[in-house]
Amino acid sequence: MSNYDVIIIGGGPAGLTASIYARRRELKVLVIAKAVGGQAALAHEVQNWPGTESTTGLELTQRMKVQAEKWGVEFVSDEVQSVTENSGVFIVKTAQTEYQAAAVILAFGLTPRDLGVPQEKELTGRGVSYCATCDGPLFKNKTVAVIGGGNSASEAAEYLSRLVRQVYLLSDSCNAAADAALVEEVKALKNVQVICGLKVTAVVGSDKVAGLKYNDLQTNEEKELAVDGIFVEIGFSPRTDWIKDTVKLNERKEIITDKVGATSQPGIFAAGDCTDVGFKQMTIAAGEGAKAALSAYKYLAAKKGKVATPDWGVKK
């Protein structure tokens, strides 16, 4: 089993910054992430990264990876399934293999929220989509529904209206969370119909999406709408269910951290958007990553210090 001082789970700005800081303290560091960049890599334009007037999220995070590799950080493109503690050592498991680490940094960010209704999972990629800019062009001349009451849903509806035949914008809140001007703009579009005061209850279709079912909250009637695509735009949440028995989460399922990135479990640190940090921003995530790495370093030094103390004089 491969052995590391620190294993970092997640390859966005928090995880990559943590890896650079940890490696510069001469720790043996592994980053496990499906791909480098995380949500940040999907940002078309980044204009608030200090020292860089304008760049893309992909470019910026690729540069972070190159920098980390230069320092000797190792990378594995995989998905972690569990982290367990065994007498002071952490076992980090993926579907294929397992790794051992003296400390772990959780920095896996946020994942698009799902509706949690029947048939949604089965038809993801078969008409259910969480990325309007990715999959919108594949629905040319079709009928689609956008679900969500915030700006991202209204923006997706506007974008899709230019590609597809008909868009339904569905929400429970009547787009209360979106900018009023944006909502008015969307409502004025000929091929967009806004339907609100409803709750989507199921996705309909066998091998691909044929429609959706919703509950009209005013009349409590169950209704069905025929659509070819369903774009879910209801925000993001951290996917923390797999780690909930190991570290404490808040009511939003975010990992609770202290001021230096420590979690409720000694030896496990966390940084960035998957934590209860006040703002989900790239620069903040990077700073939090640095903090978590330095805390992990301190933790390991103290741990080693206790054991190695008697030999120090001899080695010198």
The residues carrying an active-site annotation are: 131, 134-135
Q: Point out which residues pair with 44 in neighbouring strands.
A: none
Instruction: Indicate the residue among 124 and 237 with the shorter CB distance to another protein.
Output: 124
User: Minimum Å distance from CB 176 to another protein?
Assistant: 28
182, amino acid identity: L
Instruction: Indicate the residue among 36 and 262 with the shorter CB distance to another protein.
Output: 36
User: Minimum Å distance from CB 41 to another protein?
Assistant: 6
Residues forming the site for another protein (CB under 8 A)? 33-37, 41-42, 44, 58, 76-79, 94-97, 124-127, 129, 131, 133-135, 137-139, 208, 229
Instruction: Indicate the residue among 48 and 133 with the shorter CB distance to another protein.
Output: 133
Q: Give 237: exposed, middle or buried? Use CB within 10 Å, 0-12, 13-18, 19+.
A: middle
Instruction: Indicate the residue among 72 and 137 with the shorter CB distance to another protein.
Output: 137
Tell me if 213 sits within 8 A of 109, measured CB to CB: no
127, amino acid identity: G
Instruction: Indicate the residue among 111 and 283 with the shorter CB distance to another protein.
Output: 111
**DSSP per-residue codes, 101-159:** EEEEEE----EEPP---TTTTTTBTTTEES-HHHHGGGGTT-EEEEE-SBHHHHHHHHH
* Token digits of residue 146: 């956008």
| Residue whose pair of structure tokens reads 């940084």 in the numeric block | 271
User: Minimum Å distance from CB 2 to another protein?
Assistant: 13
Give 25's DSSP letter: T
Nearest Cα residue to 29 out of 264, 292, 304, 275: 292
Q: Which residues of 47-70 are buried (b: 16+ CB within 10 A; e: fewer)?
A: eebeeeeeeebbebbeebbeebbe
Residues 6+ apart with CB under 8 A from 123: 203, 205, 208, 209
User: Minimum Å distance from CB 258 to another protein?
Assistant: 31
Hey, is 259 helix, strand or coil? coil
User: Minimum Å distance from CB 220 to another protein?
Assistant: 33
